[in-house]
Structure formats: structure tokens, C-alpha cells
Structure 1
């Protein structure tokens, strides 16, 4: 019978997520992960097998968390489809503005991974693609709901609008990394809402 683990595995994944997010896969060493998780090298590899496996766990934690936050804005009873999308975009502007004010320019973990690792790691690429499909589906449903309740223009394909909103969110995050302040981010969100309004 193996000895019980003396640590919280999910908390270790969260700590690794923050480290990978800030430094990227290539920029994160085993020593960095040991410091972040509080595990020694042996325990780290006994638990997670490899740096790559831990990275995938960390990325899954991130996409699950961000998808849940998106869903919280897109599934609010009593709000129109446009109000739901507006709420999501405002939250993105607030998040990025808060990070920028704190000097955090880490951006989006998913976007960072797409541009650095996904093209050479099929498993990571698949994880990101699955997450993208889930988020696009939720956005498309919100757009269709908005078209049915009259808040969103009807002459656009909901799937195309979902891609537009997803691309805008990524652009807002990258703009924040480049120094766009909260006012700019709020303007981007407001402009998108005005573009979609019926």
C-alpha cells in the first residue's frame, strides 16, 4: 500500500498553471515547477510523470476555469442575448485592465500556447481545439438567442458572430499585453456590442 500523498494535487496543478502561464512551456524549468508546487523533483515526476503531462493538466485547468467563467455570463436567465455577450466582453475588459494596472502582462494562457507550443504538440493542439469548439458553441447559442429575442441583428450567421466575438476577445487580451488601457478595452467591447445590436 502506497503512502498517502501529503499535498493537494489540484492546488499543485493551479500553482504550475500560474508558472507556465507566466513563463511558457519552454521557459519553465523543473526547478521552477518544484518551487511553485512545493514538491521535490521525485515527487513531481511520480505524480505527474513529465513536465509535458503537468503542462497539459495546467492548461486543462485554465481552459476549464475560463470556459466556466464565460458560461456564467452567457447563461444568465432574464437577460437578452446581447446583454449576455456585453456582460462577457465587459468582464474581459475588466480582467485585463486589472491585470495591466497590477503590472501583469501575462495575457491569455491559451493564446500564448497557440503561438508557442500547439503547432509542435498534437495533444496540446487538440486540447485547445476542443476548448475552442466548446466556447464557440456557447457563443453561437447566445447569438441565436439574441436574434430570437430581437436584441441582435438577424442577418448574420450565429457561428460567424461567435468567431467574431472569440477573435475580439483574443485581440483584447493581446492589446492589453501591448499596453492598451482600460478605456481602450472598454471601447472595444462597446463597439462590438453596438455592431451586433439590432
Structure 2
């Protein structure tokens, strides 16, 4: 008879997510995952089958959590420009206990080019964010508050790149003023 699990699986995925977010996939060892989750090696492999499986679950959790914050802002009150500004300021005002950078950006660089399963997750995530941004931008263009000379899709892709760049800059040690300058320039391009 198998023993019942004595741990919170979601909490373990969250802890693993933070470890991968801080160190990347390759640099996060099984021992690092044991330390982060408080689980033994056998519990990790019995529950998640592999480091890669745990990484995929952690990446999905990261995407769900970050996207829920993005979509809440984009679906919120105010003009399109105000909502886009609020989205950019989410990066500037990131919670102090979040690791710096972005797990999606890290996974795109580290695994995207050669791991088809991760690449598919990343493509689907990108399209959800691009579509949501394009919808808000198109509404702003219709209201005359956002320049209509570029497509909403192109501007959405630009904002995704700017947000990713801001997260990379933050990880590299950029001060708040530098992040605010990037956000301000990005808004001026709309």
C-alpha cells in the first residue's frame, strides 16, 4: 500500500518555480530543487517524474500567475493608454520577494531553441499576451488615443519586447529610474 503524500504539491511547484526563475533550468540541480521544496529526491521524482516535468509545471504556473495580473490590468478600468501604462508600471513595481527577471524570457533563451515541448508552451503564451495587448491597443486606436499608423499586432509585439527588456534590465541591476525611462519611451511610441 502506497503512503499518502505528506506535502502540498502546489507549494512544491511554486518553490521550484522560484528556483528555476532565479537560476535557470540547467543551473538548477536536483539538489537545489530538494533544498527549495523541502522534499527528498525520491518525493520529487515520484511526484513529478523528472526535472523537466517539474520545470514545465513551474513554467505553466508562472505563466498563469503573471498572465492573470496582465489580463486584470488590460481588462480593467481607464483608457487603453492608462491600462498600458499600468501594465508597464507593474514591472517597475514588481514585488520585492519576486526573483529578478522573467522565467518566460529565461526559458525562451535557454530552452526555446531546442526543446519543442517548452517552445510550444512559450508560443501559446506569447500569442495569448499578444492578442490581449492587440485588443487593448486596437480599442485605443479606435478612440484616437493611440497612433493608428502601425498595426495593433505590431505594437503589441513591441510592448512584449519592451516588457521583456525591462525584466532583463532589472535582473542586470537597472535602477528604478532606468526602468521608468524605458516604460516612458515605450508609451511615447504608441
Check whether TM > 0.5: yes
Query: Structure 1: 5+ residue runs without aligned partners?
Result: none
RMSD: 1.7
**1:82: which partner in 2?**
81
User: Quick check: which one's helix share is greater?
Assistant: 1
Task: State the Cα distance separating 1:105 from its structure 2 match.
Answer: 6.8
Query: Is the 1:81–1:146 Cα contact (8 Å) retained in structure 2?
Result: yes
**1:158: which partner in 2?**
152
Q: Which has the higher contact order (CA 8 A, sep 6+)?
A: 1
TM-score normalised by the chain length of structure 1: 0.90
CA distance in 1, matches of 2:41, 2:136: 45
Closer, same or farther: CA 39–105 of 1 in aligned 2, 3 Å = closer
Query: Structure 2: 5+ residue runs without aligned partners?
Result: none
Is 1:42 the counterpart of 2:42 in the alignment? yes
**2:132: which partner in 1?**
138
Query: Is the 2:100–2:167 Cα contact (8 Å) retained in structure 1?
Result: no
**1:108: which partner in 2?**
102
Query: Is the 1:136–1:166 Cα contact (8 Å) retained in structure 2?
Result: yes
CA distance in 1, matches of 2:74, 2:143: 14
Give the aligned length: 190
CA distance in 2, matches of 1:132, 1:42: 34
**1:122: which partner in 2?**
116
**1:54: which partner in 2?**
54
CA distance in 1, matches of 2:141, 2:48: 46
List structure 1 runs of 4+ shifted beyond 6 angstroms.
none
TM-score normalised by the chain length of structure 2: 0.93
CA distance in 2, matches of 1:14, 1:116: 20
CA distance in 2, matches of 1:124, 1:135: 17
Alignment of 1:157-196 (within 5 A): 157-196=151-190
Q: Deviations over 1:106-165 (max 9, x none)?
A: 411111111112212110111111100000000000101111222211222000000010
CA distance in 2, matches of 1:188, 1:153: 19
Q: Deviations over 1:52-95 (max 9, x none)?
A: 00010011111111111111110113x11111111101111222
CA distance in 2, matches of 1:195, 1:120: 33
